[in-house]
Amino acid sequence: MASFVPTSPETLEDQRLYTRARLVEVSCLDCLATVGVKKNSEHHTSIQWSDEALGHCPEFARMAAQPGGRPVYAGCPRLVASIDAAVREGRIPIGAEDGY
C-alpha cells in the first residue's frame, strides 16, 4: 500500500517526471525482456522493470531460486550489457535534463 498518494496535478507531474521522464525502452539482447532506462550520468542508470519483464529474465529466475532469493541490489549482467550497447549506439542519452 502506498504511503503517499498524490492528488494535485503538480505533484502528479513531478511524480511522472521523476519516475518515467526520458525512459528509453531497451530489450535484453538475450531474453528480450523490455525495461525502461535512463542515464543521468555515466555512473547512474535508472531501470524500471515491469512484472512482464521480470518474468522474462532467466537470470533473475536463477537468482530467485537460490537460498535466500535474489539480492535486491543484484542486477542482470545480460541486461547491463544490452544497456551498454544501447548507450554506445546513441539510443540512450546521458545526462539529466531540467533535473530529471
Q: Classify residue 8: in a domain, yes or no.
A: no
Q: Classify residue 6: in a domain, yes or no.
A: no
Q: Classify residue 50: in a domain, yes or no.
A: yes
Q: Tell me which residue of 92, 88, 74, 73 sits closest to 35, measured CA to CA.
A: 92
Half-sphere exposure of 77 (CA within 13 A, CB side): 2
Q: Give the domain range for residue 73.
A: 23-88
Q: Classify residue 17: in a domain, yes or no.
A: no
Alpha-carbon span 63 to 65, nearest angstrom:
5
Looking at residue 36, what is its pLDDT?
95
Average pLDDT over residues 36-63: 91
Number of independent structural domains in the chain: 1
Question: Which three three-digit cell numbers place residue 3?
Answer: 504511503
Q: For the full predicted model, state whether its pTM sits above 0.75.
A: yes
Torsion angles phi and psi, residue 76, rounded to 5: -95, 115
Q: Classify residue 83: in a domain, yes or no.
A: yes
Q: Between 85 and 8, whose confidence is greater?
A: 85
Contacts of 11 by beta carbon, 8 Å cutoff, 6+ apart: none
